[in-house]
Structure 1
Amino acid sequence: MKNAFRLILAMTVTFLFITWYRNAEQFPSFRYLLQICQESTRYKGTLNSESNSYGSDDLKINQLFNKIQGIIPKVTFTHVDNTTSARNSRAFLPNPKDMYCIGDPLTVQLNMYDFLGNRKKYGGDFLRARIYSPGLNASASGRIEDLSNGTYLAHFSLFWEGLVEVSVLLMHPSEGVAALWRARNEGYENIIYTGMFTSATETIYQKCGFHLATTDDVCEYRDQRDEEYFFCIKPPNLPCEALTHMNSVNSNHTYFSDVEKGLFNRSNIGVEIPNSFQAIRVSSCNKKDTAVQEKCKIRTRFPFPGGYFLRNVWYPLGCNMHRFETGEQITNCLQGKKVFLIGDSTLRQFIKHFTETLNIMMYFNHTENELQSWQKTLVSINMDKSIFVQWKKHTLPFISKTFYSVKEDTYAARQIDQIGGGQNTILLVTLGQHLRPFPFRTFIRRAINIRQAIERLFQRSPETTVIIKEENARDMDIDMERFSDFHGYVQYVILKEIFQDLNVGFVDALDMTIAYASNVIHPPLEVLENFISMCLTYIC
């Protein structure tokens, strides 16, 4: 009798659990939790090679990768003397004019030579062009046309009246571009990750990364849906779930050959190409003011260059950016809104500007020590105007010498999935700086996953405002193999390709920082204020 009762009880419990499980899957919140549980950390035993079993996105990734690889110069050299020399090259006006007017095009021709004075016969150099007038705080980027024979044309538009200077920098020779592309795509060894595993009685540090060449047991941290993978060597007495913190440092490893290393000495980076002409005088020529009155809107697409600075204010082409100069203007725009910032420290500048510079918001429950841990999630609020702003890092790969919690982390696509959306919800995303040291396919996959998350957001809430802040130029005196602006430029092109047809706004931080000559990872206040004004123009 007792055995029969136990059998009936067991069958009843099993039936109730199956019924609950099936019903739970019908509700989004439960389904999401179940999905996360099913895709959580799994112990995978021995790992001898990278075990990524990529799925349907592989074709998209390879197509985009191959498209870019097709335009990368395929050149080799045996001595630095045979590579492009900025100082031996020449910039001149092929068709000089007696008078230039506002709105006129300006073309500068560049003939490139190597260190021995020999004319270069192929293209692929990474150049950066700008025009500027220091007295007016005016500047704009130029567009480089590669004729593939050692000759380039730098195309500018003359946007303002006065004396205009021209600057063209050789960032990297074509031989350096080829080396950067090859080195970046060879592997993951340039950054070392260390994971901290903790329990009540011990703390163990283990090597982690995107690829571990080891015969030790490893923990695989997998997002199955988005095919994101990360690994740590398994600690001997702790489970994989005991991973709590992570840090990273640059390794001593390099994918450069000895001869390639010489191309990346600071003296060979960002070198001015000599001009054979003086500053150009631009006149108004009695042209009528044709200033655009319509404000910039979501889905506005800009060429490159897409605007110019005048008196430190950015003027985009084809639409009008409103200026938000005071805290009152910003709070009136953001009143009643929730703003989610997902990315790196260049987007963290936004919440710090609101809270620490303008003092229009207050951090919520953050101690001074927590604010010193720059990787920590920040929340800031304005109770009077009902404004909520949150900054959260985009997670791995995230580069930081100090340990940061991974228990609070999730990939950017997952963060977007947790945003309800609505007409008063703003999402700003940036991606790039922390991915520069890793193969381009890693970046492409991450960008595609974020795009798909934004598509899901629009499906449930099409009125949500989404803005992509593209990565900005950065320092020239850092490790070029890992952080060169060449990597940033390629990622800029990739993001344009992936997001171009979505209902999102763009803040072209690369164009703006090249124009301004802001060669620092965190652009100065004048540039930051224009980033913010561009975002707020989309919002209000």
Structure 2
Amino acid sequence: MGNERKKHPSPSFLSQHCAGLQNSANSGSPAGINSEVSEKSQSLINSFYSEFGISLDGYSRLQQAVYWADPDRSITNVSMSTSPAHTTFIIENLKESYQTGEELFVTVHANDFDNKSKSYGGDFFQAKLFWSKTKASVFGEVVDLLNGSYSVRFLLPWVGEAQVAVRLIHSSEAVQVLKRHRDTDSDRVYFHGYYEGPGPNKTRLSEAVMCNVKWDKNGLEHMGTGDCCCEYKDPRTEETWRCQRPKSMPCSALVYHSMGGYRNRLTNKEKKLIGIKYVAEKCHPGLHTPVPAGFYLNDVWTSFVCSTQHFTTQTTTECLKDKHIYMMGDSTIRQWFEFFVKAVPSKINRSALKQMNLHVQYQAGPLLAVDVKNNIDLHWRAHGVPLRSQKSAVANLHYISNEIDGLAGGPHMVIMFNMGPHFTTYPLDFYTHRVLRIRKAILALLQRAPDTTVIIKTVNTGYKDIFGSDWYSLQLDRILRWAFQDVGVYILDVWQMTACHYSEENIHPGPVIIKNEIDILLSFICPVYI
């Protein structure tokens, strides 16, 4: 097709085709992202510096990373928001053919539902270059020009046909709804605490109450003040978990934790806004993640970060031999644990990873698999509260930073963690403090055992609602990268891998994506494989 604008794009998917690509070799560098630094109280900045060693410049970079443009007018009607049906894009300087390694630029022009041009930025777009027949895809970097237009940059990495797709995930007006509820309505996801203890005449008492994070101005004030609640302050992280005080038992009787439920407090107008659908070098710690970070071809991910390999069942076992592996986080990193258990199946006269039954609630863990012959032990446990899980023993819910503090480290130890989906309903400062405590624990670990392998899994895409939008996840992802950019750890970028794949979106990606993630993970653990 030519480079004229489409007159009637799909309401949720804008797409154009570009011509065939020919083979050549150079790749471009990622475009920068311009943003402003928002003001923060001096006391908060001082807290970051005194406790975590984060300088004023470092804190300013964090604010730049999570800055998001606001509408420059009051939104009185949904029709004033960005319309995917009226938003258009053009491929700049479209040619009949391109060389691999060239860059392709697309300009998006946002219009509202009255087909009027938007004059401000803040829309959340995702873009990809793909070709379904060869199962190839690559992530596109979207830059907000802050005037209603957006620039998208693609690297052209494969030979053959390609199609450009730009999708409006949330309008700038919907983003403001997400932002407000994150900062003032954190208990829209709530949890249960279960208290148990002895009763009269050898009976057993039990009571379930509502629990949540205690964080200043986080929308949890309605739980009350004074003697309303039981508070559990971790002595090391200094985070406080709060539960309504049970009527018949002491605070010390808390035994179990579980997911409670969801409360949707969106106004009718907000519901309408939200409801609009629309290589390289050897792998080593500290590598920059470019945009794009790689691409799919025939369902195999080629990384632009470092030289990755593709592992078989046998080479997976050989890579993990003599390794003590600790995974901490949510169910998306538990998928890695499950992959390893399935990837090294039991065979006659051959050892294998076998999962032990620890008689725990599966969603919280801990989980353990061992291969005695090859001296492999594989651990997974949840990251602690807040955790949207079924009823789980509180004693099994450990903060990641505390868990890392209890590990000696060393050349045979691999530590990997992630945090994302369970934190989307909380203010950014709460998540930042949690991440910085982990950063502090990682720095101490690498000080006592610098040859420990530490791997951070970034956040997945796949959420689109008020409880876990990709926009929330994107900001958490930026905080995570900012906190560990100078620590000397591996950062495994799954954000781009989950955003650009052709398969149906899911916060728990399918086996094809997981296998590619595992290949990168093993390439980090065994960068020079025999």
TM range (shorter): 0.7 to 0.9
1:382 aligns with 2:371: yes
Indicate the residue corresponding to 2:353 in structure 1: 361
Residue deviations 1:345-367 (CA, integer Å, cap 9, x gap)? 11111111121354241012346
Name the residue aligned to 1:393. Answer: 382
Q: Per-residue CA shift, 1:12-36, capped at 9, x if unaligned?
A: xxxxxxxxxxxxxxxxxxxxxxxxx
SS in 1 for 2:259: strand
Q: Per-residue deviation at 1:233? A: 2.1
- Is the counterpart of residue 471 in structure 1 residue 487 in structure 2? no
Partner of 1:141 in structure 2? 139
Following superposition, which runs of at least 4 residues in structure 1 exceed 6 angstroms of deviation? none
TM-score by length of 1: 0.80
**1:308 match:** 295
List alignment gaps of at least 5 residues for structure 1: 1-52, 272-290
Partner-residue secondary structure (3-state), 2:467: helix
Aligned-partner SS, 2:187: coil
Correspondence for 1:503: 488
1:100-499 to structure 2, matched below 5 A, reads 100-200=98-198, 201-211=204-214, 212-254=223-265, 256-265=266-275, 268-269=276-277, 271=278, 292=280, 294-324=281-311, 326-359=312-345, 360-366=352-358, 370=360, 373-400=362-389, 402-476=390-464, 480-499=465-484
CA drift of 1:54 comes to 11
Whole-angstrom CA distance in 1 between matches of 2:78 and 2:230? 44
Contact preservation (8 Å) 2:185, 2:425: no
Tell whether 2:75 aligns with 1:77: yes
Tell which deviates more after alignment, 64-73 or 387-396. Answer: 64-73
Q: How does 1:4-83 map to 2 (within 5 A)?
A: 56-57=47-48, 66-67=63-64, 70-75=67-72, 76-83=74-81
Contact kept, 8 Å, 1:216 with 1:233, in 2: the verdict is no
- For residue 322 of structure 1, what is the amino acid of its counterpart? Q
Contact 1:342 1:412 in 2 (8 A): yes
Cα 1:112–1:74 shift into 2, 3 Å: closer
Residue among 502, 507, 512 paired with 1:526: 512
Q: Deviation digits for residues 48-83 of structure 1, max 9, x if unmatched?
A: xxxxx9982388697577545643324431111111
SS of 2:474's partner is helix
The number of residue pairs the alignment matches comes to 457
Question: 314-323 or 430-439, which moves further after superposition?
Answer: 314-323
Q: Is the 8 A contact 2:101 2:155 kept in 1?
A: yes
Larger Rg: 1
Report the alpha carbon displacement of residue 185 of structure 1 after superposing the two structures with TM: 0.7
Q: Distance in 2 between the 1:532 and 1:442 partners?
A: 30
* Counterpart residue identity of residue 323, structure 1: H
Give the root-mean-square deviation of aligned CA atoms.
2.2
| Aligned counterparts of 2:357 and 2:95: Cα–Cα separation in 1 | 62
CA offset digits 1:408-441 (Å, max 9, x no partner): 2221100111111110000011011111112211
CA gap of 1:204–1:250, structure 2 versus 1, over 3 A, is: closer
Whether the aligned pair in 2 keeps the contact of 1:72 and 1:178 (CA below 8 Å) is: no
CA distance in 1, matches of 2:123, 2:45: 34
Kept in 2, the 8 Å contact 1:297–1:537? The answer is: no
Deviates more, 1:65-74 or 1:202-211: 65-74
Instruction: Name whichever of 231-240 and 407-416 sits farther off.
Output: 231-240
Give secondary structure in 2 for the equivalent of 1:489: helix
Contact 2:288 / 2:305 at 8 angstroms: preserved in 1? no
Please tell me the residue identity of whatever aligns with 1:311: N
- Structure 2: which amino acid aligns with 1:530? N
Q: 1: distance between equivalents of 2:224 and 2:320? A: 49
Cα deviation for residue 511 of structure 1 reads 0.9
Give the corresponding residue for 1:41.
none
Q: What do residues 241-292 of structure 1 show as CA deviations (whole Å, max 9, x unaligned)?
A: 21011122333342x4431220111xx23x2xxxxxxxxxxxxxxxxxxx63
Report which stretch shifted further, 225-234 or 493-502.
225-234
Secondary structure, aligned partner of 1:466: strand
**Partner secondary structure for residue 116 of structure 2:** coil
Give the CA deviation at 1:449. Answer: 0.6
Distance in 2 of aligned mates of 1:62 and 1:517: 36
